[in-house]
Chains A and B, each alone.
Chain A
């Protein structure tokens, strides 16, 4: 599967989700030391070659952060509804479920739109919420960045709606760290290898 096919696959999957991923979702993809991004007006249901722009030499916090992170090769920029509520209210999302602790990390913070802040946030987590903006989820491949977005949106909804039951109980820092390390080393290995082989 080439770059365009991979981006088009996940773009279409984002459009098929049962919620909006925002007005201007973007996909960033790193390949052979080049950085590509979907155009602002790209139709995510049918992303084509001409919708993907080489932005390697452009300056933006997202591009610079992605290019600086050795392990990360993909980013999804989106604004799903419950994450959007957290961004607006500057409400940090902490892991109250094992799947978020494993796939995303223990906490996702709302940070200013600067390379330094985004880079720092993404060193400890697979996601960062940008103040007055959107959420960035990243991964070793586009599959991981996409899944991180869906898991974080579920976590945001669970966190907010658990208020009707009196609130949630967070996972301890030690348990969350253990699970994240285990996930990165072992659990996702089979799926990562498959996606790397088939999607680059």
Chain B
């Protein structure tokens, strides 16, 4: 999906921020989303503001290469992570980073997610690697996450959450839900036996 203009990108971020909240994939200000505007710029959610009250005007246009932005509203503290994905993966049009519960169980255990459901595996891959730990917003977190992501649809971030990407926000949101579902199926099938 190619964005019509910057306004459409801003509105999509608000819409999908609400959808992530409704699905329980993010809570409050936690997690962040971005869309690619063009080769040079991305639009990200702002830092530290609740998804239930942000407006299109709160979204921030950030230069992918320099991470520079204009205006008083700060972009997400994970802007470097988003920019890194766009720089490395020209086909990517949207990035979602969440602290969703079941992915967080893998993150806490620092274990890769093996996708056991064959249908889901055909869509999101057989294994989602786990990135080594880095403090939130740090260069180390970005480096480790990009390494674990490689060319796949997503990855687990140690003690932190998950990140996924796709050609547009619609498909990326869909992938995000499927990754959480795969994690839930893995954990709950074993937890019930405990």
Give chain A's interface residues, CB within 8 Å of chain B.
Answer: 18, 96-99, 102, 147, 150-151, 154, 157-159, 161-169, 171, 175, 178-179, 187-191, 194
Partner of A97, one of B77, B99, B135: B99
A147–B158 CA distance with the chains assembled, in angstroms: 22
5 A-B contacts (beta carbon < 8 Å): A96-B159, A161-B105, A165-B105, A188-B29, A190-B46
Partner of A164, one of B101, B110, B191: B191
A96–B104 CA distance with the chains assembled, in angstroms: 9
Q: Tell me which residues across on chain B come within 8 A of A102, comparing CB atoms.
A: 136
Shortest beta-carbon distance, A98 to chain B, in Å? 5
> Are A191 and B49 in touch, CB under 8 angstroms?
yes
Known: A96-B159, A150-B27. A169 touches B104 (CB 8 A): no
- Chain B interface extent, by class: 20 to 34
Shortest beta-carbon distance, B48 to chain A, in Å? 4
Q: Tell me which residues across on chain A come within 8 A of B2, comparing CB atoms.
A: none
> Are A179 and B108 in touch, CB under 8 angstroms?
no
A97–B159 CA distance with the chains assembled, in angstroms: 4
Known: A165-B109, A169-B108, A169-B109. A154 touches B101 (CB 8 A): yes
Q: Which of B28, B74, B105, B107 has the most CB of A within 10 A?
A: B105
B194 at the interface (CB under 8 A from A): yes
> Are B104 and A154 in touch, CB under 8 angstroms?
yes
A96–B159 CA distance with the chains assembled, in angstroms: 6
Q: Which of B27, B30, B108 has the most CB of A within 10 A?
A: B108
Chain B 30-53 against A: per-residue CB contact (8 Å), 1 yes, 0 no? 100000000000000011111001
> Are A98 and B190 in touch, CB under 8 angstroms?
no
A99–B77 CA distance with the chains assembled, in angstroms: 14
Q: Tell me which residues across on chain A come within 8 A of B129, comparing CB atoms.
A: none
> Are A171 and B159 in touch, CB under 8 angstroms?
yes
> Are A191 and B24 in touch, CB under 8 angstroms?
no
> Are B135 and A194 in touch, CB under 8 angstroms?
no
Q: Tell me which residues across on chain B come within 8 A of A151, comparing CB atoms.
A: 27
Give chain B's interface residues, CB within 8 Å of chain A.
Answer: 24, 27-30, 46-50, 53, 74, 77, 99, 101, 104-111, 135-136, 158-161, 187, 190-191, 194
Partner of B29, one of A18, A97, A157, A191: A191
A189–B29 CA distance with the chains assembled, in angstroms: 12
> Are A191 and B30 in touch, CB under 8 angstroms?
no
Shortest beta-carbon distance, A188 to chain B, in Å? 6
Shortest beta-carbon distance, A131 to chain B, in Å? 25
Residue of A nearest to B48 (CB): A190
Shortest beta-carbon distance, A150 to chain B, in Å? 6
> Are B136 and A98 in touch, CB under 8 angstroms?
yes
Q: Tell me which residues across on chain A come within 8 A of B109, comparing CB atoms.
A: 162, 165-169
> Are A168 and B191 in touch, CB under 8 angstroms?
no
Shortest beta-carbon distance, A180 to chain B, in Å? 12
Q: Tell me which residues across on chain B come within 8 A of A162, comparing CB atoms.
A: 105, 108-109
Shortest beta-carbon distance, B19 to chain A, in Å? 16
Q: Tell me which residues across on chain A come within 8 A of B27, comparing CB atoms.
A: 147, 150-151, 154
Q: Which of B48, B77, B106 has the most CB of A within 10 A?
A: B48
> Are B30 and A99 in touch, CB under 8 angstroms?
yes
